[in-house]
Structure 1
Amino acid sequence: MIEWRNLYRGGLMGISDLIPGVSGGTIAVVLGIYQRLIEGINGIFTREWKRHLAFLVPLLVGVLLALFLLSNVVNWLYDNYPNQIQFLFLGLIVGIIPMLLKKSEYKKTFSGQHYALFILAAILVGLTGLFQEGVADTITTYDASTYVLLFLSGWLASSAMILPGISGSMLLLIVGMYPTFVYILSDVVIEALIPLGLGIVFGLLIMSKIIKYFLNQYFYQTYALIIGLVFGSMFVVYPGFEESFMLNALSILLIFAGIYAAYLLGKLEHQD
């Protein structure tokens, strides 16, 4: 049976993927579907492909609808109220950490190696914030070399998208492809969408297999890494305060709104 609830889940993931520093994988963890997402992508080519597609198709539709229909809105908000958008997502990230700690049963399962993995992951993600100011021109003409570049960019972005705490948009910003990514989506440039889409598909298939292996073989170590990635992303997303008292007040309100939203989403998604 098709899981129509995944439409809104995918919409939230799609919106988050438009914001540099915010990970769609993190939102999947907030929603309680991260492991099912990994299993679903890996299960496409198995005998149970119908069940996995019933989960993935509405999720993908939700992501695509958000990317194409809301890219201009989200980017307008990000251009005009960047701090407030970042504080909202920061609240979501803060709100998810207790859920992750509970799921990992860290008090019982974590040892020195787990905390080392946590710290390493947090530092690595935090360091990506040093490169987030990169700006590049938008690519509007295409040839063989740009098609390859778009394919590789899609591969890189999608590999990051399903890692909690690692922002695909942030990596595109670092390599100078984020403006082109937004332009292609908002203007629906078909000839550029094809290589970009193929790169995204290949990236998802390969990275999901890697993550599934580690979840199956090293569950608690992987969760220590995931928690570290999410924790480190707080330092990337945190934008700092502004001079305007009203904007800062709105930012504080939104971070608490994000924390409460994470709590409500967690409660909703885990009630069945």
Structure 2
Amino acid sequence: MQWRNLYRGFFMGISDLIPGVSGGRIAFILGIYDELLASISGFFSRNWKKHFGFLLPLGIGIGITLLLFSKVIEYLLKNQPAPTQYFFMGLVVGVLPFITMQAGVKRNFTWQHFIVILLVGGALASLAFIKPQDTAVITSLTASNAIGLFFAGWAGSIAMLLPGISGSFILLVLGVYSTAIGALSNFNLSIIAVIGAGIIVGFIVSNKAISYLLKHFKYIMFAVIIGLIVGSLFVIYPGIPESGTPFVMSVIAFFTGLVVANMFSSQSKTSIVNK
């Protein structure tokens, strides 16, 4: 059992709570990204005990962190919504230099890649005009919202495995981030179970596909990720805050997000595309 993964899970759990900081990127920084993908892929193989010993402590660390810090995020969203959203925007914007550097945009991108960025970014940005930034918080399950939460968890798990985009960011874009945070904070087991089931199924089903796409279509994948990041800014933009203290706090929060994202990015010296 690799119990040192408890502290690794702690850092990945923190990142999974905050839109813009990728759990996959934290795994990469900690030097376990390849092993994480391999363990998820090999969990149902004859060597499952080895992979279980890697994944269980990691999962425990992530789970404990999510439960402990979800109340902090819920409090900030309720009491300081504008600065919190601007902090998230700073994190998202701060990811872009890391992704463009890892993809080698100037060297490796052609006009087709930029078209992919425009198409993906435009499609995601359009959500800002057809739905509110975040839907009402779900506290009880119905057949319809359970299906939606399950697939939201699935979509979030795909992002968690990518080194440049976070699962909580996807939940925010899909309008269920506040629901997930509220469920963790209030220990709403039914909501946690449905979203968690989607995440687990997503890990199992999507892991091989992500590994294949990153290996064989890595630059297209990076173009998609950049498009998602750019488009997401239109979705999570909360509007111009009120003048005075809210405005100042939002500006400070935005630049704090930029600094935090840069701190995580600066630790990665190795290129993901060569992994």
How far the C-alpha of 1:172 sits from its partner, in A, is: 5.3
What amino acid does structure 2 have at the position aligned with 1:213? Y
How far the C-alpha of 1:136 sits from its partner, in A, is: 4.3
Aligned residues: 258
Cα distance change of structure 1 residues 40 and 118 upon mapping to structure 2, 3 Å threshold? farther
Cα distance change of structure 1 residues 48 and 99 upon mapping to structure 2, 3 Å threshold? farther
130-139 vs 106-115, greater mean Cα deviation: 130-139
TM-score, normalised via structure 2 length: 0.77
How far the C-alpha of 1:151 sits from its partner, in A, is: 5.7
Match of 1:226 in 2: 225
- Measure the CA separation in 1 of the matches of 2:103 and 2:75: 38
58-67 vs 249-258, greater mean Cα deviation: 58-67
Percent of matched pairs sharing the same residue: 26
How far the C-alpha of 1:101 sits from its partner, in A, is: 0.8
Whether the 8 Å contact between 1:151 and 1:200 is mirrored in structure 2 is no
- Measure the CA separation in 2 of the matches of 1:217 and 1:80: 45
Match of 1:84 in 2: 83
- Measure the CA separation in 2 of the matches of 1:137 and 1:83: 18
- Measure the CA separation in 1 of the matches of 2:92 and 2:244: 24
Match of 2:17 in 1: 15
| CA RMSD across the alignment | 3.2
Match of 1:66 in 2: 65
- Measure the CA separation in 1 of the matches of 2:257 and 2:71: 22
Match of 2:162 in 1: none
- Measure the CA separation in 1 of the matches of 2:127 and 2:59: 27
Whether the 8 Å contact between 1:68 and 1:186 is mirrored in structure 2 is yes
Structure 2 counterpart of 1:28, from 24, 31, 42: 24
What amino acid does structure 2 have at the position aligned with 1:86? Q
How far the C-alpha of 1:7 sits from its partner, in A, is: 2.8
- Measure the CA separation in 1 of the matches of 2:223 and 2:191: 37
Cα distance change of structure 1 residues 159 and 139 upon mapping to structure 2, 3 Å threshold? same
What amino acid does structure 2 have at the position aligned with 1:14? D
Q: Does 1:98 find its partner at 2:97?
A: yes
Consecutive unaligned residues in structure 1, runs of 5 or more: 17-21
- Measure the CA separation in 2 of the matches of 1:182 and 1:35: 25
Q: Does the residue aligned with 1:210 lie in a helix, a strand or coil? A: helix
What amino acid does structure 2 have at the position aligned with 1:10? M
Cα distance change of structure 1 residues 124 and 46 upon mapping to structure 2, 3 Å threshold? farther
Cα distance change of structure 1 residues 90 and 109 upon mapping to structure 2, 3 Å threshold? same
How far the C-alpha of 1:77 sits from its partner, in A, is: 0.7
- Measure the CA separation in 2 of the matches of 1:49 and 1:13: 27
TM-score, normalised via structure 1 length: 0.78
1:5-60: per-residue Cα shift (whole Å, max 9, x none)?
423322223322xxxxx366x45337745954545433433466566556544443
- Measure the CA separation in 2 of the matches of 1:137 and 1:100: 32
What amino acid does structure 2 have at the position aligned with 1:132? P
Alignment of 1:208-227 (within 5 A): 208-227=207-226
- Measure the CA separation in 2 of the matches of 1:181 and 1:243: 28
Cα distance change of structure 1 residues 52 and 119 upon mapping to structure 2, 3 Å threshold? farther
209-218 vs 47-56, greater mean Cα deviation: 47-56
Match of 2:113 in 1: 114
- Measure the CA separation in 1 of the matches of 2:127 and 2:166: 11
Q: Runs (4+) of structure 1 moved beyond 6 Å?
A: none
How far the C-alpha of 1:129 sits from its partner, in A, is: 2.8
How far the C-alpha of 1:215 sits from its partner, in A, is: 0.9
Whether the 8 Å contact between 1:165 and 1:229 is mirrored in structure 2 is no
Cα distance change of structure 1 residues 252 and 59 upon mapping to structure 2, 3 Å threshold? farther
- Measure the CA separation in 1 of the matches of 2:204 and 2:68: 25
Q: Does the residue aligned with 2:113 lie in a helix, a strand or coil? A: helix
How far the C-alpha of 1:153 sits from its partner, in A, is: 1.9
Match of 2:154 in 1: 158
- Measure the CA separation in 1 of the matches of 2:77 and 2:254: 16
1:46-82: per-residue Cα shift (whole Å, max 9, x none)?
4665665565444433432233222232112101111
